[in-house]
Amino acid sequence: MLELIGSQARAAEPLLRVLDTNTKNRVLRQVASDLCENSETILLENARDVEKGKANGMPAGLVDRLLLTQERIRQMAQGLNQLADLDDPVGEVIQMKKRPNGLLIGQKRVPLGVVGIIYEARPNVTADAFGLCFKTGNAVILKGGSDALASNMAIVSCIRATLEREGVTPDAIQLITDTSRETTTAFMKLSQYVDVLIPRGSAGLIRATKENSTIPVIETGTGNCHIFVDESADLDMAVNIIFNAKTQRVGVCNACESLLVHSRVKEALLPRLAERLAEKQVELRGDEAVCALVPGCVPATEEDWGREYLDYILSIKTVSGIDEAIAHINKYNTKHSEAIITENYTNAQRFLEEVDAAAVYVNASTRFTDGFEFGYGAEIGISTQKLHARGPMGLLALTTTKYIIYGNGQVRP
């Protein structure tokens, strides 16, 4: 079955590659409208998934992520309409130069081809992933979580029906309905048909994909994000930024998990900060110096420095200065987002240069690492790997380039 799905995606690829932007946008808007129109059917199928999940003792948080409502379907549709409004990156010639022999060599953005996406029981990802891939001229093969199978089948069937009515190959989107582990692993090895595989979900899913896939993977990752408060920091600004980065939303990869404080400002900063964070009942885990200054602070263990809590917990360490701060961050971070609060020019520049991460900030919250905040109008995920795309990925990450060369008879001497 995977073989069939793969070859159908490959057959769809050349048809999608040449779709003009107007057609793609018209179809995206029609899919959005048809999803809303068919919401009854989709909600009915979703109710079956939810019922089964509850019967199997699915935790409330997961049930909530699985659950669809009229409002959530409307949001899915809105996402597709927003994609229709974005510029189409496909076809842009990003450079073109004339070589001494007269060859005109250009580099043009083209779709990746066939994109595979593996995700968990979040049916909203189904429409979202389709939209991103379709806008960029890619065929997509989806493998969603088994708990959302009925919902995904309803959404995909609705999208395919719209594609057919619009005269576009329905194989622009295909769903793998066999959700067994064996099939998932076999999917990861379908390199003959799939150009890139994107896992969206837990650290476990991402690790399994990385370990098993023979298809190139775009890894989206975890974030053990640090803020370093330098000696010269504006401490009001520091408290504001730390409060925001820690508590504005705790369960996300760009939230701050660990704080480094220059030892010369620990007395001035920590009691004020602890008071502010207490508004949200943030648990503090600190080294000895921190615990001495903050009543109720829990002693941190070595393990805390490497933790992504995704919770109202913050680890705090005092450091002797910028050197120790940079060394600590480069040792324990996950290469996601890191910030320094400082008024010192040289330290700001050194932090930007020497900290190895997808995004490095001076005097701003790490929470801005996000495709929408960066102005991309869409987000596929936040890459913590270094190949192909790093940091928030917009539509560009779903394209590659090809060289186009105009000659007039040139041969190689």
Regarding 159 and contact with a copy of itself (CB under 8 A), the answer is: no
Q: How far is the CB of 120 from a copy of itself (least distance, A)?
A: 22
If the CB atoms of residues 58 and 360 are measured against a copy of itself, the closer one turns out to be 360
Given 245, 253, 259, 261, the residue binding a copy of itself (CB under 8 A): 245
Among the listed ranges 28-36, 116-124, 160-168, 389-397, the one in contact with a copy of itself (CB under 8 A) is 389-397
Q: Of 135, 139, 130, which is closest to residue 76 (Cα–Cα)?
A: 130
Residue ranges of the alpha helices (H) in 114-232? 124-135, 149-165, 181-187, 203-212
Regarding 171 and contact with a copy of itself (CB under 8 A), the answer is: no
Residue 324 to residues 97, 271, 318, 331, Cα–Cα distance (Å):
46, 23, 9, 10
Angle at 15 between CA 164 and CA 167, to 5 degrees: 20
If the CB atoms of residues 55 and 236 are measured against a copy of itself, the closer one turns out to be 236
Sign of the CA dihedral 402, 406, 407, 413? negative
Whether 90 and 399 have beta carbons less than 8 Å apart is answered as: yes
Q: Of 265, 113, 262, 136, which is closest to residue 190 (Cα–Cα)?
A: 113
CB atoms within 10 A of CB 94: 10
Given 54, 272, 280, 386, the residue binding a copy of itself (CB under 8 A): 386
Regarding 385 and contact with a copy of itself (CB under 8 A), the answer is: yes
Q: Are strands 104-111 and 173-175 parallel, antiparallel or unpaired?
A: unpaired
Regarding 69 and contact with a copy of itself (CB under 8 A), the answer is: no
What's the CA gap between 263 and 318, in Å, rounded?
5
Residue 179 makes CB contacts below 8 A (sequence gap 6+) with 143, 144, 145, 146, 149
What's the CA gap between 185 and 210, in Å, rounded?
11
Given 196, 229, 316, 378, the residue binding a copy of itself (CB under 8 A): 196
Site for a copy of itself in 247-286 (CB under 8 A): 248
Whether 107 and 402 have beta carbons less than 8 Å apart is answered as: yes
Among the listed ranges 42-50, 171-179, 289-297, 369-377, the one in contact with a copy of itself (CB under 8 A) is 369-377
Regarding 344 and contact with a copy of itself (CB under 8 A), the answer is: no
What's the CA gap between 218 and 209, in Å, rounded?
10
For residue 128, give both structure tokens: 């979202």
Regarding 177 and contact with a copy of itself (CB under 8 A), the answer is: no
Sign of the CA dihedral 352, 356, 357, 363? negative
Q: How far is the CB of 326 from a copy of itself (least distance, A)?
A: 8
Angle at 164 between CA 160 and CA 165, to 5 degrees: 120
Regarding 26 and contact with a copy of itself (CB under 8 A), the answer is: no
Regarding 191 and contact with a copy of itself (CB under 8 A), the answer is: yes
Regarding 232 and contact with a copy of itself (CB under 8 A), the answer is: no
Regarding 92 and contact with a copy of itself (CB under 8 A), the answer is: no
Whether 269 and 230 have beta carbons less than 8 Å apart is answered as: no
Q: How far is CA 304 from the centre of its chain?
A: 25
Given 4, 55, 60, 411, the residue binding a copy of itself (CB under 8 A): 411
Site for a copy of itself in 97-116 (CB under 8 A): 97, 99, 103, 105, 110, 112-113
Regarding 183 and contact with a copy of itself (CB under 8 A), the answer is: no
Regarding 234 and contact with a copy of itself (CB under 8 A), the answer is: yes
Given 14, 204, 271, 299, the residue binding a copy of itself (CB under 8 A): 14
If the CB atoms of residues 37 and 353 are measured against a copy of itself, the closer one turns out to be 353
Contact residues for a copy of itself, defined by CB under 8 A: 13-14, 17-18, 97, 99, 103, 105, 110, 112-113, 191, 195-196, 210-211, 214, 216-218, 234, 237, 240-241, 243-245, 248, 330, 352-354, 356-365, 367-369, 373-375, 385-388, 390-392, 400-412
